[in-house]
């Protein structure tokens, strides 16, 4: 057997860690395996935004469409029609959007030449959602564009309250703007809807019923903006395009998984909405369960939307539902009180605008869930999210099992850190592998070292907004990044079972946390039961 001297070993570790961290790899375009050929062709179309006077349009949708236009990603012929009740002309609507773009564009300054060209594609149509005559007016406007595709290929973006979805789709169908899916070439119509998609299973089910009474499920694109994030999309590539990690991705090798979505900001002016939602409905039901599904699902049979979504649903269905007793043991709520964030005083949640002074709404939630399937049986999945935490970051940490309790583990006890792989979803997007290495020197010492891949250093700073990708996919008709009906309903089932356990129970003293800290003490205790600790996201330079 080959043996290495102590010197040789330490040199090897030192050299390996240094070179792995810094080695740049010069790949060029010829080495990239492009999957775009599988992408559907983007045809000329009109994008109709209902609720065009709202915040979402000016903050997210128009900046995203402007950047897609700037990058030549939109079809050569397209129109954007703002539909809302307020009286505006095409010109005044464009002027408002131009103003907002100055504030919300991810690239600055706004390129005036590009904007002027882009703005020629934007028009405004005044109308009331409940009034069929308004849809006829919309139909005339669409027909006036001349090109049949601009009349027949229609993306309806419902940036409106869910209580209005039913009226909108019914009127679209009645005025023949929305038709059942037909043969290719005869036009397509799609409906894009935003979260919140219901507030429990019953309301989500009812909403789905209203939408699919007039639209086919394949025409409904439910947005979860986390799926538009590059790093969230990379979870599947990382897992299924690398042989080594997938071999480790199971109960034999993984001790537990932590998913953290921490936010630094408070609820701000959204108290009214937040009182109805809380962290559970606002973040866990959608964004966190989506990340969990991608991290834990089985390989899909193909890259088609339905294959991927089938696997996600299967995974969500394998999550063990909790009884009220289990909720008490496995789920922790939290609410921030006044504290200090970034050296500045921060007021408590109960003092926020439109929040009840004795509110029990959670601004933090931590849960220990189990996935009852062959791959993950017995592996805890710890999920947490909260507002007013010390740092805003989203991370998935795969914590591997400890080595057998001999040699270094026997000598070091819990000082020997088990291996971990961290997928940093935002900010400073990247992937870090932690393993142990010898501390160079005559004394024998071992400590964790890191191998780090950073998106920015590898690919250059490129941070498209999630909405850019999602809008493009919706126009292309690829539903992979959107939530299917059974997916949203299964996620609500999980959340409803937890919320049922909270019924009538106010927050306990151990569930409050000072703004600017990592959450309530009860969340620490949740992990301590199994000898685990939260690994808080760290700043990455």
Query: Which stretches within 40-152 are classed as H helix?
Result: 55-56, 62-70, 90-104, 112-119, 132-143, 148-152
Burial category of 367 from C-beta neighbours within 10 Å (exposed 0-12, middle 13-18, buried 19 and up) = buried
Question: Using the rule CB under 6 A, which residue among 43, 263, 311, 362 binds ligand BG6?
Answer: 263
Nearer to ligand BG6, 282 or 511 (CB): 282
Q: Residue 193 and residue 120: Cα distance in Å, rounded?
A: 26
Nearer to ligand BG6, 255 or 282 (CB): 282
In the complex, the smallest distance separating the C-beta of residue 349 from ligand BG6, rounded to whole angstroms, is 13
Contact between 468 and ligand BG6 by CB under 6 A: the answer reads no
Q: Residue 512 and residue 10: Cα distance in Å, rounded?
A: 47
Given the residues 199, 256, 287, 532, the one annotated as active site: 287
In the complex, the smallest distance separating the C-beta of residue 279 from ligand BG6, rounded to whole angstroms, is 8
Dihedral-angle region of residue 51 (phi above 0 means left; psi in -120 to 50 means alpha; beta otherwise): left
Under DSSP, is residue 198 helix (H, G, I), strand (E, B) or coil? coil
DSSP letters spanning 458-504: HH-S----HHHHHHHHHHHT--TTSB-HHHHHHHHHHHHHHHHHHTT
Nearer to ligand BG6, 271 or 520 (CB): 271
Token pair 């780090």 is at which residue? 452
Distant-in-sequence, close-in-space partners of 30: CB < 8 Å, separation ≥ 6 = none
Distant-in-sequence, close-in-space partners of 73: CB < 8 Å, separation ≥ 6 = 42, 468, 472
Under DSSP, is residue 249 helix (H, G, I), strand (E, B) or coil? coil
Q: Alpha carbon of 468 to those of 45, 61, 63, 108: distances in Å?
A: 16, 8, 8, 16
In the complex, the smallest distance separating the C-beta of residue 263 from ligand BG6, rounded to whole angstroms, is 5
In the complex, the smallest distance separating the C-beta of residue 339 from ligand BG6, rounded to whole angstroms, is 19
How many chain residues interact with ligand BG6 (CB under 6 A)?
A: 2
Nearer to ligand BG6, 199 or 256 (CB): 199
In the complex, the smallest distance separating the C-beta of residue 68 from ligand BG6, rounded to whole angstroms, is 19
Answer yes or no: 67 catalytic. no
Six token digits for residue 226: 């986390």
**β-bridge pairing 78-84 and 45-50:** parallel
Contact between 194 and ligand BG6 by CB under 6 A: the answer reads no
Q: In the complex, which residue's CB is closest to ligand BG6?
A: 282
Nearer to ligand BG6, 151 or 287 (CB): 287
Contact between 282 and ligand BG6 by CB under 6 A: the answer reads yes
Nearer to ligand BG6, 282 or 346 (CB): 282
Nearer to ligand BG6, 149 or 468 (CB): 468
In the complex, the smallest distance separating the C-beta of residue 476 from ligand BG6, rounded to whole angstroms, is 22
Find the radius of gyration of the CA atoms of the chain.
25
Is residue 520 within 8 Å of residue 385, measured between CB atoms? no
Burial category of 22 from C-beta neighbours within 10 Å (exposed 0-12, middle 13-18, buried 19 and up) = exposed
Give catalytic residues, as residue numbers.
Answer: 287
Residues forming contacts to ligand BG6 in the complex (CB under 6 A) are 263, 282
């Amino acid at each position: 057997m080959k043996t290495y001297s102590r010197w040789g070993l330490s040199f090897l570790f030192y050299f390996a860690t240094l070179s792995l961290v810094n080695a740049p790899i010069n790949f060029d375009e010829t080495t990239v395996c492009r999957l775009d050929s599988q992408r559907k062709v983007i045809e000329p179309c009109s994008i109709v935004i209902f609720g065009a006077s709202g915040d979402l349009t000016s903050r997210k949708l128009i900046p995203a469409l402007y950047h897609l236009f700037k990058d030549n990603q939109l079809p050569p012929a397209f129109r954007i029609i703002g539909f809302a009740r307020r009286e505006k002309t095409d010109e005044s609507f464009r002027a408002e959007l131009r103003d907002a773009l100055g504030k919300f564009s991810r690239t600055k300054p706004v390129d005036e030449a590009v904007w002027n060209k882009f703005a020629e594609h934007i028009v405004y149509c005044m109308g009331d959602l409940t009034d069929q005559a308004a849809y006829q007016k919309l139909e005339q406007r669409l027909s006036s564009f001349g090109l049949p595709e601009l009349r027949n290929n229609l993306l309806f973006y419902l940036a409106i309250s869910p209580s209005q979805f039913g009226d909108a789709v019914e009127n679209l169908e009645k005025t023949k703007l929305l038709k059942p899916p037909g043969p290719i070439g005869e036009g397509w119509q799609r409906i894009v809807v935003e979260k919140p998609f219901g507030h429990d299973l019953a309301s989500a089910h009812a909403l789905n019923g209203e939408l699919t009474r007039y639209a086919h499920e394949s025409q409904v694109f439910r947005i979860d903006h986390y799926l538009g994030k590059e790093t969230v999309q990379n979870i599947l590539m990382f897992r299924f395009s690398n042989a080594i990690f997938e071999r480790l991705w199971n109960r034999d090798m993984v001790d537990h998984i932590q998913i953290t979505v921490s936010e630094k900001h408070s609820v701000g002016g959204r108290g009214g909405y937040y009182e109805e939602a809380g962290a559970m409905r606002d973040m866990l039901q959608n964004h966190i369960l989506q990340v969990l599904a991608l991290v834990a699902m089985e390989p899909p049979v193909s890259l088609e939307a339905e294959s991927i979504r089938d696997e996600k649903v299967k995974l969500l269905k394998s999550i063990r539902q909790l009884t009220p007793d289990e909720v008490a043991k496995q789920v922790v709520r939290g609410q921030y009180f006044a504290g200090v964030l970034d050296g500045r005083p921060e007021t408590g949640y109960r003092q926020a605008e439109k929040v009840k002074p004795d509110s029990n709404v959670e601004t933090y939630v931590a849960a220990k869930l189990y996935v009852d399937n062959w791959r993950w049986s017995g592996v805890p999945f710890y999920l947490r999210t909260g507002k007013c935490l010390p740092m805003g970051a989203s991370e998935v940490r795969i914590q591997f099992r400890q080595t057998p309790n001999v040699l270094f583990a026997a000598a070091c006890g819990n000082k020997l850190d088990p291996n971990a792989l961290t997928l940093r979803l935002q900010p400073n997007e990247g992937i870090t592998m932690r393993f142990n290495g010898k501390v160079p020197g005559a004394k024998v010492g071992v400590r964790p070292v890191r191998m780090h891949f950073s998106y920015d250093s590898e690919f250059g700073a490129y941070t498209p907004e999630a909405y850019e990708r999602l809008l493009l996919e919706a126009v292309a008709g690829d539903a992979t990044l959107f939530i299917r009906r059974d997916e949203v309903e299964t996620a609500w089932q999980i959340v409803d079972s937890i919320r049922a356990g909270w019924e009538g129970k106010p927050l306990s003293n151990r569930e409050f946390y000072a703004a600017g800290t990592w959450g309530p003490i009860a969340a620490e205790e949740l992990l301590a039961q199994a000898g685990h600790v939260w690994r808080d996201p760290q700043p990455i330079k």
